[in-house]
Amino acid sequence: MALFSRIRTPTTAASFHLRHFSILSPDSSTHFNSHQKSRAALSILKSEQNPDRILEICRAASLTPVYHLDRMSFSVAISKLSEGNHFQSIDTFLRELRYRPDLRNERCASHCLILYGQAKMLNHALTALDDFYNEGLCHSAKSLNALLVAAILAKDYKEVKRIFVEFPKRYGIEPDLEIYNNAIKALCESGSSSSVYSILVDMKSKGVKPNAKTFGTLLAGFYKEEKHEDVGKVLNLMKEHGISVGVSTYNIRIQSLCMLKKSNEAKALLEGILSKGMKPNLVTYNHLIHGFCKEGNLEEAKRLFKSMVNRDLEPDNQCYFTLVYFLCQGGDFESALSICKESMEKKWVPKFSTMKSLVNGLASISKVEEAKELIQNVKKKFSKNADMWDEIEKGLPQ
């Protein structure tokens, strides 16, 4: 059924087209297929603030949780509506979704629960699950897991615990690995990582085997609480369960240490990866570069960037943007310019505030011509900001 979620009768489709098509395309002669509607809706939603318009855009595109682009649009729409405290609009829209004939299935119902959680409307999600259950839509672990995700998004960890403890019996649903992993995630996020040990015992009694994600979440939780002895215990548990400590596990540990401003310890883990003949990846270096930048050790961040490139790892846009931003903050405008040029060659341009900081910084060290050249290159790529850049260029020393 989900594959046909956008099909309408000819009469309905024509009516829909007349009412809503101009919202997605000002050119009435252009005919969009469903994918083009999704792309158009997402693009428009990103800049729209009017709650009524947001709802009309979503309706016009006939969004469905089946498609990734549409899920992104849902998320953007709900975020904007909740930021503006338009909770009645959210409820109206989600009720419309709940009763759309083409979305009457567990997958779509589960996504509605998650969207309620994103909007911090957990009571509505609880009511909706009851309705879905009574209507025969939600009878599996998928729905219960969606409710847990909703509670986590709402950061209502007390409710997560209640759902995890009470709802499996209430709805006759046996928890699966995903449910256990989300319960563990909630405990770790709420600073109660030690409580996870009892969940691991329960999993063992139910014959549910933990996986790398289970232990990765727990590692991050213990690092966050700075319970380093427990980190060692978790690593031993992984060995007992036959789960290898791969690069992804190292990346979690490296990120956690960097967040604690212990980037030197994190770098020691990188050396451990290399000594074991394992290959660090882009994520490894991104965490380390960001960590050292946050701690003000820009020289080490630059060395890691060079090392990454020498290992034939291609930096992504966030790696470039992080370095340019922090190098500007640290006053190393020449290095920032070099990395920015490399990024722009790949068609990745840092945000306006970062570029403005770089231009003004270059001017402050008597590199006005370089600053002007940078402005010209940016204007070619982003003509809509040309007036703003003209003003900045006028303010540069002549």
Exposed, middle or buried by CB within 10 Å (0-12, 13-18, 19+), for 388? middle
pLDDT (0 to 100) of residue 13: 40
Structure tokens of 229?
Answer: 């002895």
Residues near 361 by beta carbon (within 8 Å), at least 6 away in sequence: 328, 331, 333, 336
For residues 290 and 263, give the distance between their C-alpha atoms in angstroms, rounded to a whole number.
9
What string of DSSP letters covers 200-244?
A: HHHHHHHTPPP-HHHHHHHHHHHHHTT-HHHHHHHHHHHHHTT--
pLDDT (0 to 100) of residue 390: 82
pLDDT (0 to 100) of residue 27: 55
pLDDT (0 to 100) of residue 269: 97
pLDDT (0 to 100) of residue 30: 57
Reading phi first (left if > 0) and then psi (alpha if -120 to 50, else beta), residue 26 is in alpha
Residues near 339 by beta carbon (within 8 Å), at least 6 away in sequence: 305, 320, 323, 324, 327
Residues near 114 by beta carbon (within 8 Å), at least 6 away in sequence: 146, 149, 150, 153
Q: State pLDDT tens for residues 105-119.
A: 999 999 999 999 999
Structure tokens of 5?
Answer: 């979620």
pLDDT (0 to 100) of residue 341: 95
pLDDT < 70 regions, the chain: 1-22, 25-31
pLDDT (0 to 100) of residue 388: 84
Q: State pLDDT tens for residues 324-351.
A: 999 999 999 999 999 999 999 999 999 9
pLDDT (0 to 100) of residue 141: 96
Exposed, middle or buried by CB within 10 Å (0-12, 13-18, 19+), for 172? exposed
For residues 321 and 327, give the distance between their C-alpha atoms in angstroms, rounded to a whole number.
10
**Amino acid in the structure at residue 232:** G
DSSP-based three-state secondary structure for 153: helix
